[in-house]
A and B are shown apart, each in its own frame.
Chain A
Amino acid sequence: MKQRTVMLACSVLFACVLSQPIEGYLKLTEQIANRTVPLHWSQGPVRYFVFDRGVPGVTPSQLQAAVQRSFGVWQEVPTASIAFQFAGFTSSAPGTEDGASTLGFLDRPDLQGVLGATGFLIDEVTGEILESDVFFNSRFSWSVAAAGEAGTFDVESVAVHEIGHLLGLGHSGLGEVEVRTAASRVVAAEAVMFPIAFSPGTIDGRRLKADDIAGVSDLYPDADLRGRTGSIQGRVRQSGRGVLGAHVVAFNPRTGSLIAGFALNAQGEFGIAGLEPGLHILRVEPIDDGNVNSFFDQPPVVDVNFKAAYFGNFVIAPRGGSTSSFDIQVQPK
């Protein structure tokens, strides 16, 4: 065992500790007057209303209770600092641009196949968030049953996902799907921010995973998060050029956790923050198993024509800092 440990230590990429960790994850951003502005609440608590309409099986009060539990899941993350406050019921539907953040059921036939969605109203000049609304599509069957209910979607699970967006998180690529003729399904997800829902009846989306926790902690860090966690940064390259949109997954063999980020520019640069200090195994893969638009909503089209690859060395995320940048090479399909 000792010999194995020594061998592992010899093969790691030794970290160069920088004083300022970098950002990771897919964060929601907007272009405001040639600036890239993160969608981020600068002040708390975030006040929210609940639309006073129910659906079969879910009363407004039950919706409010489920939504409050979902906000609580994010608020209880020990390494993040964000708070919410229920401001009351409202007769103003989510999606109404009225300056109030509202969650509720809505019949949106034009959003066929969409279980829930989050919207923002922002000031075009300052970038300030004026409101953020979440809607749950009343075209589907919903439940707030403690253990879930066959044939219905779990309000609490979908609310946890949408509140992640409300906080400024984009989608996570940590999930796996299966297909067969005329059907597809999610078989695993290591983040509640995976964009495709589990089958009706499951409540798996109520509990945050390591990737979600790292993401919200990075957006709203508590006082000493940066000092207790580490970051990894590098570039994904193919034939001398950057690979835009490459999905980079950091696996911690000690904890079994998966935390991921994307190469977000033409140089193929990525960064993953909020990692537990220590050894990580890195895998790079294309998001070629579904809808790229779930992750990136504007051209240019991301690169998906390469084979998945592991970085040849272990990488140490240093406590309180970041690795120096390194390159991961991938090969075309």
Chain B
Amino acid sequence: MTAAICVCALLTAEHVCATIVTPAEFSELVSAARAIAHGRIVSIRAQSSDDRVRVETLVTMRVATYLKGNLGPKVTFVVPGGTLGRYRSIILGAPHFVEGEEVVVFLSARGPSLPYVLRLGQGIFRVVRDSSSEDRMIAPPPLVGQSQEWQTVVRGDPARGPMSLTDFAARVRVLVEGGR
């Protein structure tokens, strides 16, 4: 009995998120992004939206490199939801960040408003260190269509391993330049 309850508590330990999106292949994401930035998150701050009906969070990133576009050495973008006082507004699927985290963010913008993350969580690739080589990696790698024929994506395919940040950046740049 005790063991079962223990497991029950442990199994709810991770944050999960949710929304429903249309499918997007990697080149579509690259094409739709106004800017693609690699860097570290330096601050996170919740505030009321301009119309004061909802909470939003401003995330500031110190940019190491732009893979597409350029919005300056520090960029602040907005994600929906956040905590203000006693109330927490959660938009399922909205990305969460932590200060110091290294990420590649695909940003879009309309008019004079702050940039936002493209397609919520689809526009974020978190950078992790490979445990043995210490290389910066993107895992899982983006889904890239390799031909005009439909190909089923098989989970656990050994041919699709983590991608180094260097290779990821090169792939983005090729797509930005219009090649494949």
Residues of A that sit less than 8 Å from B by CB:
18-24, 26-31, 36, 38-39, 93, 95-98, 109-125, 130, 140, 158, 161-162, 165, 169-171, 176-187, 193, 195-197, 233, 244, 247, 264-265, 267, 269-271, 285-299, 301, 304-309, 322, 325, 333
Q: Are A97 and B86 in touch, CB under 8 angstroms?
A: no
- Contact A36-B126, Cβ < 8 Å, known A178-B150, A180-B149, A289-B140: no
A290-B153, A298-B14 given. 18 additional CB < 8 A pairs?
A19-B4, A22-B7, A31-B15, A97-B54, A111-B80, A114-B20, A115-B22, A176-B153, A178-B151, A179-B150, A293-B95, A296-B14, A296-B17, A297-B16, A299-B126, A301-B128, A304-B139, A333-B158
B119 cross-chain contacts in A, Cβ below 8 A = 112-114
Chain B hits for A180, CB < 8 A: 25, 145, 147-151
Q: B133 on the interface (CB 8 Å rule)?
A: no
Residue tally, chain B, CB below 8 Å to A = 83
CB-CB under 8 A from B1, the residues of chain A are: 18-20
Complexed CA–CA distance, A186 and B89 (Å): 30
**How far is the CB of A184 from the nearest CB of chain B, in Å?**
4
- CA A197 to CA B20, docked complex, whole Å: 6
Contact A184 B158 (CB under 8 A): no
Q: Is B174 an interface residue (CB 8 A)?
A: no
- With A119-B81, A290-B143, A294-B17 known as contacts, the answer to whether A165 contacts B28 (CB < 8 A) is no
| B154 neighbours in A (Cβ, 8 Å) | 289, 308
Contact pick for A182, options B16, B28, B157, B161, CB 8 Å: B28
Contact A162/B20 with A183-B25, A294-B93, A333-B158 known, Cβ cut-off 8 Å: yes
Report the bound CA distance from A215 to B59 in whole Å. Answer: 34
Report how far A223 CA is from B74 CA in the complex, Å: 55
Chain B: minimal CB distance from A157 (Å): 9
Closest to A289 in B: B153
What does DSSP make chain B's interface, helix, strand, loop or mixed? Answer: loop
Contact B121 A184 (CB under 8 A): no
Sample 25 A-B pairs with CB under 8 A, ordered by A number: A19-B1, A27-B16, A30-B15, A110-B110, A115-B20, A117-B120, A118-B91, A165-B92, A177-B143, A179-B146, A179-B151, A181-B27, A183-B28, A184-B143, A187-B152, A196-B20, A233-B7, A264-B13, A265-B14, A288-B156, A293-B122, A294-B122, A297-B16, A308-B154, A333-B161
User: How far in angstroms is the closest Cβ of chain B from A127?
Assistant: 9
Contact with A along B8-42 (1 / 0, CB 8 A): 11111111111111111101100110000000000
A322 to B24, CA, bound (A): 39
* Contact residues in A for B148 (Cβ distance below 8 Å): 180-181
1/0 per residue, CB under 8 A from A, across B101-133: the answer is 100000010100100101111101010100000
Residues of B close to A111: CB separation below 8 A: 80, 120
